[in-house]
Structure 1
């Protein structure tokens, strides 16, 4: 028995009800109720899977942002020292502008769908 509910199923159930009379009605109602429940359950499960996938993608995006932030701060120390030693304040300023730009770009980036 198919668990998909269609317009034809409903029309067939009404036709059977008209031909067989009221004594068949409880069985028809039970059959239609099972199909409706199965359809709702299947749609609910599909929605839950999609919702979980979206939540996992959001968490993965947050993890990537955190990793970029940590790596940026770790790399900022030697880059600042090197730039400061070679170019002075302007070199350090350029390093920090680059670090801030990378982190801002990562923060405003949209997660992949």
Structure 2
């Protein structure tokens, strides 16, 4: 995100929409990769012939939702300002749609891991 903000400063406001779109695309790709990895990790069972080093490790106890929530707010505040000021309502909806998708994927992975 910092690189995107720095690029915006260097390139000027006429490139802002492209920079925000590029950032959101990279964010979506990262989220998708993490969700796939989590699904693959949660779907593997030790009795499926995995090497002991590849077996899923037990999850640590604690509330992993707190870092996700704080991270969402930390990213959401500057993204809201950038998206609303330069891309309008569509940018704002896109930015918060990505944040909601992150939180939804996290909640879904926690829900699936309880089974």
Could you say which TM-score interval applies, normalised by the shorter chain?
A: 0.3 to 0.5
TM-score between the two structures when normalised by the length of structure 2: 0.43
| More RCO (CA 8 Å, sep 6+) | 2
Q: Larger Rg: 1 or 2? A: 1
TM-score between the two structures when normalised by the length of structure 1: 0.43
Q: Greater helix share, 1 or 2?
A: 1
